[in-house]
């Protein structure tokens, strides 16, 4: 467990009692046709290749992140969820830093993720974490395209610029 001093949130491993609040938070963070189902979330938290970390503040869940090792040197961030009232408080950054550290511990040299092209706030957030744009993914989401982004985990990458 780690306490993020900038956000006063406790970042910890997933517990089975987290499933209901995780599912509820995902439904707040994403539209119904993008949010994960309860069965998908249950698969993620029970599979040995997945990492789930929870941010807790004042005894309640304020965020979570799920990622996995997809190849010996590559990791994938599946989702980062932060409660709307807790955004811009450092919780998302703290969750991503913990996930990146876990990825490095598992031998990953790069992390990648997908972000909705229309989600400017998320894109700026990932750019601030030194993710770079790799490619445009047409129709990735039910009503939108996505950018695939990547960040080396060992050395800082160059500037982040979208490539359409």
Cβ burial 16-29 (10 Å sphere, 16+ → b, else e)? eebeebbbebbeeb
pTM of the model: 0.87
What are the boundaries of each domain within the chain? 2-108
pLDDT at 49: 86
Give, in order, the Cα–Cα distances in Å from 7 to each of 55, 80, 85: 10, 16, 12
With vertex at residue 120, the alpha carbon angle to CA 157 and CA 135, rounded to the nearest 5 degrees, is: 50
Which residues lie closer than 8 Å to 124 by C-beta, 6 or more apart? none
| pLDDT tens digits, 59-116 | 899 999 999 999 889 999 999 999 999 999 999 999 999 999 999 999 999 999 999 9
| pLDDT tens digits, 109-148 | 999 999 999 999 999 999 999 999 999 999 999 989 999 9
Closest to 51 measured CA to CA, from 93, 95, 5, 109: 95
DSSP 8-state secondary structure symbol assigned to residue 36:
P
pLDDT at 156: 44
Give, in order, the Cα–Cα distances in Å from 49 to each of 60, 83, 99, 154: 26, 25, 13, 21
Third-level CATH fold of 2-108: Aminopeptidase (3.40.630)
């Amino acid at each position: 467990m780690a306490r993020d001093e900038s956000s006063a949130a406790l970042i910890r491993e997933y517990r089975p009692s987290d499933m209901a609040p995780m599912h509820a938070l995902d439904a707040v963070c994403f539209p119904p046709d993008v949010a994960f189902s309860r069965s998908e979330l249950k698969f993620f938290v029970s599979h040995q290749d997945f990492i789930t970390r929870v941010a807790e503040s004042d005894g309640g869940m304020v965020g979570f992140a799920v990622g996995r090792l997809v190849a010996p040197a590559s990791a994938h961030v599946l989702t980062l969820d932060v409660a709307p009232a807790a955004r811009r408080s450092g919780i998302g950054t703290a969750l991503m830093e913990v996930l990146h550290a876990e990825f490095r511990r598992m031998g990953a040299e790069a992390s990648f993720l997908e972000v909705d092209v229309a989600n400017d706030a998320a894109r700026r957030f990932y750019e601030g974490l030194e993710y770079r744009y790799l490619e445009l993914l047409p129709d990735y989401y039910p009503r939108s395209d996505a950018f695939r982004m990547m960040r080396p985990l060992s050395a800082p990458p160059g500037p982040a610029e979208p490539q359409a």
